[in-house]
């Protein structure tokens, strides 16, 4: 089914990258050409089962038919118009998101980092002018623009970039006392991932988000949930805040929002929304007709096919298959999951596991060095779950010998 990764790629494409593409990514020597559901093919005809489709963007798998059709129709009708005009699609999309969240309003952009920049500006604009500080959390990840990088409490992402944007202070994830200690007269908001993704699939500890909600209310702070990775159905609810049972003032979305098409959004309440007043923020491509139609088709597909429930079921199936490894294998430390957001923490480096799985035709991810991360499609079949888990289990067992 699959040859080793090294032998699969066309040398001509490799040369194009070597000569003309900025080398800021580590890339596998594989050139992907086609995808369908949870399967992708490379330029040598090798087929892979993809448990990390689109880095979490393809929650419906590759090329979901309803999204393909919506975009095909739209692209031939009207590709892009800026936000100086109205389109029906953007308005409808905002309504659909509002009805499935806390009934507020949407600002549209194109990525997660942009959604967080909008949230950072909104926090500063909504609170009195002398308040600008935002508390974020160790192990969090909020994106790569300078504001979002400054909000990301991981020193490895700051190296050589200073001075960072002022006003961010960091508390340990889960530590409410540390948050209280950081608050002063200039604090305006708290920004947190309800489930840390890049940080290793870490769920907020019991009571932590509720505690943040209380602290925010007590001090007049805005509470922002970065749901760029955990939102839009991945947890088995529309939004992670619903799964966790705590409602924020602002949520940020991207990754799977448009079924694999680029798109981002920030949702906030109708009361807070006017603080992002005309002239203070914009995104030229934000909420464009292609993204809007893809976003609508994504929501419709999830509902038509009952996929929120399916995300919970398939997550449980992964748990049944993989959680027993914690007792069986000394180098498997912990299994964590929420819906189809899955982490397996190892006591050894995860990179060899990723490489070996790829050789055997299974695509997975490793984050923070030792956490195997799976963000499978919510419409994965039972058979596809079993097939990939078998490969992963065998690779993890072989590590022991």
Ligand X SMILES: *Cc1c(COP(=O)(O)O)cnc(C)c1O
What positions carry a catalytic annotation?
141, 226, 255
Contact 37, 53 (CB under 8 A): no
Count CB atoms within 10 A of the CB of residue 343: 25
Annotated binding site for N(2)-acetyl-L-ornithine: 144
Query: Of the candidates 111, 187, 288, 370, which one interacts with ligand X according to CB under 6 A?
Result: 111
- Give the nearer residue to ligand X in terms of CB position, either 374 or 389: 374
Contact 391, 360 (CB under 8 A): yes
CA dihedral sign, ordered 91, 147, 226, 302: positive
228 interacts with ligand X by CB under 6 A: yes
329 — phi, psi (to 5°)?
-115, 125
Sort strands 187-192 and 202-203 into parallel, antiparallel or unpaired.
unpaired
**Binding segment toward ligand X, per CB under 6 A, in 15-23, 137-145, 361-369, 380-388:** 137-145
373 interacts with ligand X by CB under 6 A: no
- Give the nearer residue to ligand X in terms of CB position, either 8 or 111: 111
11 — phi, psi (to 5°)?
-60, -30
Query: Of the candidates 187, 229, 242, 301, which one interacts with ligand X according to CB under 6 A?
Result: 229
Query: Which pairs from 161-167 meet CB under 8 Å and 24+ separation?
Result: 166/132, 167/132, 167/133, 167/134
| Residue of 55, 393, 82, 60 lying closest to 258 (CA atoms) | 60
- Give the nearer residue to ligand X in terms of CB position, either 332 or 372: 372
- How does DSSP classify residue 205? P
The minimum distance between CB 343 and ligand X, in angstroms, equals 13
Query: Of the candidates 48, 51, 108, 141, which one interacts with ligand X according to CB under 6 A?
Result: 141
The minimum distance between CB 360 and ligand X, in angstroms, equals 27
Query: Of the candidates 197, 200, 259, 343, which one interacts with ligand X according to CB under 6 A?
Result: 197
| Residue of 381, 391, 379, 343 lying closest to 2 (CA atoms) | 391
Give CA separation, 209 vs 8, 47, 87, 335, in Å.
46, 41, 36, 21
Annotated binding site for pyridoxal 5'-phosphate: 112-113, 141, 226-229, 284
113 interacts with ligand X by CB under 6 A: yes
142 interacts with ligand X by CB under 6 A: yes
Q: Measure the CA–CA gap between 339 and 236, rounded to whole angstroms.
A: 5
Q: Which residues contact 21 (CB under 8 A, 6 or more apart)?
A: none
The minimum distance between CB 350 and ligand X, in angstroms, equals 18
Q: Of 292-321, which residues contact ligand X (CB under 6 A)?
A: none
**Binding segment toward ligand X, per CB under 6 A, in 29-37, 108-116, 126-134, 351-359:** 108-116
Q: Which residue is nearest to ligand X (CB)?
A: 112
- Give the nearer residue to ligand X in terms of CB position, either 228 or 273: 228
Q: Would you tell me the crossing angle of helices 382-400 and 351-359 to the nearest 10 degrees?
A: 120
The minimum distance between CB 154 and ligand X, in angstroms, equals 12
With CB under 6 A, what is the number of residues at the site for ligand X? 15
**Binding segment toward ligand X, per CB under 6 A, in 100-108, 139-147, 337-345, 348-356:** 139-147
Please give the residue ranges that form the binding site for ligand X (CB under 6 A).
Answer: 111-113, 116, 141-143, 193, 197-198, 226, 228-229, 254-255
């Amino acid at each position: 089914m699959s040859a080793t990764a090294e032998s699969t790629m066309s040398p001509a494409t490799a040369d194009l990258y070597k000569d003309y593409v900025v080398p800021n990514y580590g890339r596998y020597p594989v050139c992907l050409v086609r995808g369908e559901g949870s399967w992708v093919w490379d330029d040598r005809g090798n087929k892979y089962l993809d448990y990390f489709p689109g880095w979490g963007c393809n929650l419906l798998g590759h090329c979901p038919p309803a999204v393909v059709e919506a975009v095909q129709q739209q692209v031939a009708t009207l590709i892009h118009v800026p936000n100086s005009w109205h389109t029906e699609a953007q308005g409808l999309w905002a309504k659909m998101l509002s009805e499935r969240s806390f009934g507020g309003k949407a600002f549209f952009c194109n990525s997660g980092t942009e959604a967080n920049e909008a949230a950072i500006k909104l926090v500063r604009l909504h609170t009195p002018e002398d308040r600008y500080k935002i508390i974020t959390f160790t192990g969090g990840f909020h994106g790569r623009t300078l504001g979002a990088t400054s909000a990301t409490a991981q020193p490895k992402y700051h190296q050589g970039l200073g001075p960072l944007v002022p006003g961010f202070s960091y508390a340990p994830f889960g530590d409410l006392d540390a948050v209280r200690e950081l608050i002063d007269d200039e604090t305006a908001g708290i920004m947190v991932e309800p489930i840390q993704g890049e940080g290793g699939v870490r769920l907020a500890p019991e009571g932590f988000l509720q505690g943040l909600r209380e602290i925010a209310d007590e001090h007049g702070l805005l509470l922002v949930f970065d749901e760029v990775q955990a939102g839009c159905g991945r947890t088995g609810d529309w939004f992670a805040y619903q799964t966790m049972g705590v409602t924020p003032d602002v949520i940020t979305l991207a990754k799977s929002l448009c079924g694999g098409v680029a798109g981002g959004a920030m949702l906030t309440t109708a009361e807070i929304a006017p603080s992002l007043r005309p002239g203070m923020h914009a995104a030229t491509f934000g909420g464009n007709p292609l993204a809007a139609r893809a976003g609508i088709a994504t929501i419709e597909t999830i509902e038509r096919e009952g996929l929120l429930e399916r995300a919970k079921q398939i997550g449980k199936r992964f748990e049944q298959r993989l959680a027993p490894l914690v007792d069986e294998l000394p180098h498997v430390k912990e299994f964590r999951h929420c819906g189809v957001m899955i982490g397996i923490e190892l006591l050894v480096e995860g990179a060899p596991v990723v490489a070996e799985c790829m050789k055997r035709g299974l695509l997975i991810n490793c984050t923070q060095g030792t956490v195997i991360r799976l963000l499978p499609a919510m419409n994965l079949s039972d058979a596809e779950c079993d097939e990939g888990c078998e490969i992963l289990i065998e690779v993890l067992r072989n590590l022991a010998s």
